[in-house]
Amino acid sequence: MLEEHAKVVQFVSLAGSVTGRKKLQKMVYIAKKMKFPFNEKYQFHIYGPYSEELTLRVEELCTMGFLTEEMEDKGSYVQYTYQVTDKGTNFSNHMCEEQQHLNEVVEVLNSKSARFLELVSTLLFFDELPKEERIQKVHVVKGKLKFTETEMNEAFSLIEALEEIKLNAN
Amino acid sequence: MDYATKKLAEEKVFKDPVHRYIHVRDQVIWDLIGTREFQRLRRIKQLGTTYLVFHGAEHSRFSHSLGVYEIVRRMVDDIFIDMPEWDESERLVVLCAALLHDLGHGPFSHSFEHVFDLDHEEFTRAIILGDTEVNHVLTRVSPEFPQKVSDVIAKTYENKQVVSMISSQIDADRMDYLQRDAYFTGVSYGHFDMERILRVMRPKEEQVVIKSSGMHAVEDYIMSRYQMYWQVYFHPVSRSAEVILTKILHRAKDLSQGNYQFKQEPTHFMAFFQNNIELEDYIALDENILLTYFQMWMQESDPILSDLSRRFINRKLFKYIEFDPANEYEKLSDLKELFYQAGIDPKYYLVHDSISDLPYDFYRPGEEEERVPIQLLMPNGKTRELSRCSEIVEAISGKRRSDHKLYFPEEVLLQDGTQKTLKKQILKVLRG
């Protein structure tokens, strides 16, 4: 009961602030793929793994006053930044326990761009395929983004680094 | 003649209350409908537990799947045909994807997936790509064809326009289920002018867009969707049934993992309890089987399993109160403690539920590249996002509306007898 909401608050709190809904979506997805216990269901959308449940949960948390959402008009689109309120911090402390090593993962992810996280999360979405097929799949579904070989290598390195953090946690 | 283009000697039709008739000319479509995996959808209700509130809502995922197919068939055969932006070679793949998009839904899909941590889309892909009758039909088209159909449903297909016909914010799936659910629940909202929307749809490179002259028809569709969500899909009593269903499955799983001896071995569930699920286990389940188990579990010696099963079968659902987590979340710990003291296990009998626990979405333009919004095609050939043109859509998509409830067995708390004082205290806390 409300534990899933509390985990999202805790996640944003560890990040300090997260700029971009897409970025938050991908960060939680990557953490989930690293076996941190997030229960939001993800499906593949045009822009990579996306969870409607997470979107609704974040909206609920904003309405409850546990998260703030700052809106910035970028001309052709709007960008949102999320932070945790004092009330939200109390709520998360009350409702959920600390997750070992999650802070390290969140810190690493938050330092990356939304575009890069989109690449990482898409590679993780196809993690049952061999490496070459995963790369090929990314080029098919994200052809427009034209990811370079360097970005691909960086993405695989990040996945390895994150897996190591999680391995140490267990 | 090539199997992919082979037509039936005579067109077959299914009488349908929403579209009047579903038309089938393609041999491949006819063969897919006849497979055992597709026929299984007759035994999965489209709206899960909603029939316990709207008694007409007994329609199945079979009829919805045919409906989605029919809408897509009309798009490709009546509207898009001869349009330069439409690639006719995609016709069969999109028709098959429309027909099969819900193939992997399990019994009482949402609760079942939640308890056993499953994803119906993964099972849809597994059925299409595995050793199944559906796969055998698709493979007759070409060895790569099952993968193509699976990719369209998984939204990972290269041609995004094809994907958007089945999975976007105005797609054949939503257009069918809104009308079908409205028809079978008997509610008056949920209706919109689909004929008009189909006529103003235009295939573009990345997605299907709507001519701006059709904006009012789309507004009507968005309003229908909004009203159906609040009036039908989020109905608090149907959610109560869903809560109980979830708790039955949790209890049976917990008991099985604790080596409880069921009076009759729950053979259909064992793979799910042991998290060792084969595709055949999944296909073998349907709602009739679940309901049969619930009937049997009413006689179980475990008081929680038998009580919850009785509640579901006999519609003795939990009551609810509105709950404000922003100011009352600390109350939950107190309530849990009081429930324990009164001998009522809060794990099964005190449940918080909010709309983020439900599998539906609203229209929301969102942020750049978060998800694909509805685009209007303006007279100058450019596109504009719907809510930037429509005040009605802007008004309902910009507003947040949350809804939190606490479910509990009120009649148990009102009973005289043991723990009367404690129960009174619980009711007092619940009612504030």
Residue B281 pLDDT grade (very low, low, confident, very high; cuts 50, 70, 90): very high
In this prediction, residue B276 carries a pLDDT of: 92
**B140 touching A (Cβ < 8 Å):** no
In this prediction, residue B60 carries a pLDDT of: 98
Question: In this structure, are residues B356 and B229 in contact, taking their beta carbons and an 8 Å threshold?
Answer: no
d(C-alpha B213, C-alpha A76), whole Å: 22
d(C-alpha B204, C-alpha A139), whole Å: 21
In this prediction, residue B370 carries a pLDDT of: 56
Within 8 A of A55 by CB-CB distance, chain B residues are: 361, 364
Within 8 A of B163 by CB-CB distance, chain A residues are: 46
In this prediction, residue A144 carries a pLDDT of: 80
Residue A142 pLDDT grade (very low, low, confident, very high; cuts 50, 70, 90): confident
Residue B107 pLDDT grade (very low, low, confident, very high; cuts 50, 70, 90): very high
Q: At what angle do helices A149-169 and A131-141 cross, to 10 degrees?
A: 120
Q: Using the predicted structure, report yes or no on whether residue B1 has a pLDDT greater than 90.
A: no
**B26 touching A (Cβ < 8 Å):** no
Q: For tokens 């049969």, what's the residue?
A: B292
In this prediction, residue A52 carries a pLDDT of: 86
Average pLDDT over residues B271-299: 96
Question: In this structure, are residues B373 and B170 in contact, taking their beta carbons and an 8 Å threshold?
Answer: no
In this prediction, residue B178 carries a pLDDT of: 95
Q: Using the predicted structure, report yes or no on whether residue B340 has a pLDDT greater than 90.
A: yes
Question: In this structure, are residues A67 and A61 in contact, taking their beta carbons and an 8 Å threshold?
Answer: yes
d(C-alpha A155, C-alpha A116), whole Å: 7
| Contacts A–B by Cβ distance under 8 A | 96
Looking from the CA of B237 toward its CB, the CA atoms found within 13 Å total 11
d(C-alpha B352, C-alpha A5), whole Å: 11
Q: Using the predicted structure, report yes or no on whether residue B356 has a pLDDT greater than 80.
A: no
Average pLDDT over residues A111-137: 93
Average pLDDT over residues B197-205: 92
Least CB–CB distance from A43: residue in B121, B163, B369: B121
d(C-alpha B134, C-alpha B119), whole Å: 19
In this prediction, residue B402 carries a pLDDT of: 78
**What is chain A's Cα-based Rg?**
16
In this prediction, residue B431 carries a pLDDT of: 86
Least CB–CB distance from A2: residue in B160, B164, B332: B332
Show Cβ contacts of residue A20 under 8 Å, excluding neighbours closer than 6 positions.
Answer: A79, A80, A81, A114, B367
Closest CA to A15 of A63, A80, A83: A83
ipTM of the complex: 0.85
pLDDT, one tens digit per residue, over B420-430 is: 899 999 999 99
d(C-alpha B402, C-alpha B231), whole Å: 14
Least CB–CB distance from A56: residue in B155, B206, B355: B355
> Hey, what are A148's tokens?
């370079």
Instruction: Give the CA distances from residue A58 to residues A81, A112, B59, in Å, rounded to whole numbers and listed in that order.
Output: 12, 21, 33
In this prediction, residue B372 carries a pLDDT of: 72
Q: For tokens 């685009």, what's the residue?
A: B375
Q: Using the predicted structure, report yes or no on whether residue B369 has a pLDDT greater than 60.
A: no
The secondary structure of B213-266 as a DSSP string is GGHHHHHHHHHHHHHHIIIIIT-HHHHHHHHHHHHHHHHHHHHHHTT---SS--
Strand locations in B62-214 (E): 201-203, 208-211
| Contact between B119 and A53 using a beta-carbon 8 Å cutoff | no
- A64 vs chain B: nearest CA distance in angstroms? 5
In this prediction, residue B398 carries a pLDDT of: 63
Considering A133-147, B257-271, B388-402, the range whose residues carry the highest mean pLDDT is B257-271
Question: In this structure, are residues B32 and B95 in contact, taking their beta carbons and an 8 Å threshold?
Answer: no
Q: Which helix (H) or strand (E) holds B68?
A: helix B61-74
Tell me the average pLDDT of chain B. 93
| DSSP at B60 | B
Residue B112 pLDDT grade (very low, low, confident, very high; cuts 50, 70, 90): very high
Q: Using the predicted structure, report yes or no on whether residue B328 has a pLDDT greater than 70.
A: yes
Average pLDDT over residues B31-38: 98
Average pLDDT over residues B274-293: 95
3-state secondary structure of A81: strand
The secondary structure of B337-386 as a DSSP string is HHHHHTT--HHHH-EEEEGGGSS-------STTTSPPPEEE-TTS-EEEG
Average pLDDT over residues A54-76: 88
Within 8 A of B164 by CB-CB distance, chain A residues are: 46
Q: Using the predicted structure, report yes or no on whether residue B385 has a pLDDT greater than 90.
A: no
Q: Using the predicted structure, report yes or no on whether residue A169 has a pLDDT greater than 90.
A: no
pLDDT, one tens digit per residue, over A73-119 is: 777 677 899 999 999 999 999 888 888 889 999 999 999 999 999 99
d(C-alpha B128, C-alpha B133), whole Å: 9
Domain residue ranges of chain B, discontinuous segments joined by +:
3-233, 245-356+403-430, 364-397
d(C-alpha B272, C-alpha B281), whole Å: 8
Q: Using the predicted structure, report yes or no on whether residue B189 has a pLDDT greater than 90.
A: no
Question: In this structure, are residues B86 and B268 in contact, taking their beta carbons and an 8 Å threshold?
Answer: no
**B119 touching A (Cβ < 8 Å):** yes
Question: In this structure, are residues B113 and B44 in contact, taking their beta carbons and an 8 Å threshold?
Answer: no
The dihedral of CA A158, A163, A168, A169: what is its sign? Answer: positive
Same fold, B3-233 and B245-356+403-430: no
Sheet holding B404-408, edge to edge: B319-322, B404-408, B351-354
Show Cβ contacts of residue B318 under 8 Å, excluding neighbours closer than 6 positions.
Answer: B240, B243, B244, B311, B349, B351, B407, B408, B409, B410
In this prediction, residue B97 carries a pLDDT of: 98
Q: Taking the mean position of all CA atoms in its chain, how far away is CA B345?
A: 30
List B residues 95-114 in contact with A (Cβ-Cβ < 8 A). Answer: 113
- B13 vs chain A: nearest CA distance in angstroms? 33
- B152 vs chain A: nearest CA distance in angstroms? 11
Tell me the average pLDDT of chain A. 90
In this prediction, residue B401 carries a pLDDT of: 72
The letter for the amino acid at A7 is: K
Q: Could you tell me which chain B residue has the CA closest to the CA of A75?
A: B368
Q: Using the predicted structure, report yes or no on whether residue B400 has a pLDDT greater than 90.
A: no
The dihedral of CA B210, B213, B217, B220: what is its sign? Answer: positive
| Contact between B355 and A20 using a beta-carbon 8 Å cutoff | no
Output the CATH code of domain B3-233.
1.10.3210.10
CATH topology of domain B245-356+403-430: Growth Hormone; Chain: A; (1.20.1250)
| Span between the terminal Cα atoms of chain A, in Å | 26
| Contact between A65 and B354 using a beta-carbon 8 Å cutoff | no
